[in-house]
């Protein structure tokens, strides 16, 4: 009988300690989230712990590489040793929260150690100077995206689209662009959506219309940002002249 009572008391203490530890971790995570000027951070939830950790790192890298500008872009393997991880057990799901100081991330692998302004002039490589050639005989009633949209979609991957936007900005075609985390209200902004896993462009959405929906600038159809899961999608906003 005494043994059973001891086991029950021990179990209650263990549960209480686990709950307190989880609360402490969540408080630490929330503190980091409020310090966007100091840390890069992101998170991912998945049934498999390894997948959650890697995908959280991939999401973090999109922000890091965006700010590294022309400095060498980092890979998952290069940033993982320097990043810090918090593992939160959510029953059948595993959540990894990853963070790293901005100064540290930007200095890795020969980086300059500072956030490069997106309005800085940039040298345009011949690959981005290739003139766009419109389709000669489009099918009747087929929606044809504007040349800017086609150029972005043809460029395909996140890193090269970032360089393309910088070149457009230096030419005055783009006034400003940035990460979705940098703005509170993006309803009036055009968006470029990327697949977080492959870092390939998915589509482009217009600013919200009066009805609260957006127009898919690739298909011409009504669309919404809600149609693209946030845990699988990365977004760059831009303001076109």
Tell me the C-alpha distance between 106 and 202, whole Å.
27
Q: Domain segments of the chain: what residues?
A: 2-110, 126-240
pLDDT digit string, tens, across residues 56-92: 998 888 889 888 877 888 889 999 999 999 998 878 8
> Hey, what's the torsion of the CAs at 118, 39, 44, 87, to 10 degrees?
170
pLDDT reported for residue 77: 92
Helix (H) or strand (E) holding 59: helix 49-68
Enter the pTM of the model.
Answer: 0.63
pLDDT digit string, tens, across residues 185-218: 999 999 999 998 888 999 999 999 988 899 999 9
pLDDT digit string, tens, across residues 113-150: 544 444 443 334 444 444 445 455 555 568 899 999 99
CA distances (Å), origin 21, targets 12, 25, 29, 88, 89:
14, 6, 12, 10, 11
Using alpha carbons, select from 148, 163, 167, 159 the residue that is nearest to residue 200. Answer: 159
């Amino acid at each position: 009988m005494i043994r059973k009572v001891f086991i029950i008391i021990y179990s209650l203490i263990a549960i209480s300690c686990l709950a307190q530890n989880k609360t402490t971790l969540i408080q630490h995570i929330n503190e980091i989230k409020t310090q966007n000027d100091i840390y890069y951070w992101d998170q991912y939830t998945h049934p498999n712990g390894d997948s959650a950790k890697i995908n959280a790192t991939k999401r973090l890298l999109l922000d890091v590489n965006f700010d590294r500008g022309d400095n060498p872009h980092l890979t998952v393997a290069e940033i993982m040793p320097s990043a810090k991880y918090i593992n939160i057990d959510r029953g059948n799901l595993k959540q990894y929260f990853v963070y790293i100081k901005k100064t540290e991330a930007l200095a890795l692998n020969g980086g300059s150690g500072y956030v490069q302004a997106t309005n800085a002039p940039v040298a345009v490589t011949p690959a981005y100077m290739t003139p766009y050639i419109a389709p000669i005989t489009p099918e009747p009633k087929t929606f044809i995206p504007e040349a800017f949209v086609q150029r972005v979609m043809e460029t395909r991957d996140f890193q090269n689209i970032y360089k393309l936007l910088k070149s457009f900005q230096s030419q005055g075609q783009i006034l400003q662009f940035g990460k979705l985390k940098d703005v509170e209200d993006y309803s009036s902004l055009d968006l470029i959506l990327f697949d977080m896993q492959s870092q390939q462009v998915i589509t482009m959405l217009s600013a919200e219309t009066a009805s609260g929906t957006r127009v898919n600038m690739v298909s011409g159809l009504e669309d919404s940002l809600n149609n693209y899961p946030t845990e699988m999608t990365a977004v760059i906003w831009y303001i076109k002249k």
